[in-house]
Amino acid sequence: MVIRRKADVDAFLDRFTHIASWDGEKYYLLLEDQRNEGEITLMKYPDGSLTMYRKNVSYWDIQELPLDRKEIWKHRKELNKQLGGLPV
């Protein structure tokens, strides 16, 4: 799975629960953020809500932030590194 077009973002969201890990409360996917020397965690809750959490050497989010398609598109480089070998 590779995100090349904005339509690929929808495919990624449809498959999120198949790709991500489950911690008993939510599905999550941890991405390396090389640009900011940190990590980005994408999360999806059973009710369908999407959030993200960023942490790096300069700052970290105080709380989870809403995740939308624009943010996923913005971080597609990191996602593609992680998802490159996964089937569509």
Question: pLDDT tens digit string along 59-77?
Answer: 888 999 999 999 899 888 8
Check if the beta carbon of residue 26 is closer than 8 Å to that of residue 16: no
47, HSE (Cβ side, Cα atoms, 13 Å): 2
Check if the beta carbon of residue 68 is closer than 8 Å to that of residue 59: no
pLDDT tops 50 at residue 88: no
What percentage of the chain reaches a pLDDT higher than 90? 45
pLDDT tops 80 at residue 1: no
Q: pTM for the whole thing?
A: 0.85
pLDDT tens per residue, range 16-66? 999 899 999 999 999 888 777 889 999 999 999 999 998 988 888 899 999
Q: 10 Å Cβ neighbour count for 43? A: 20
Q: Give phi and psi for 44, each to the nearest 5.
A: -135, 125
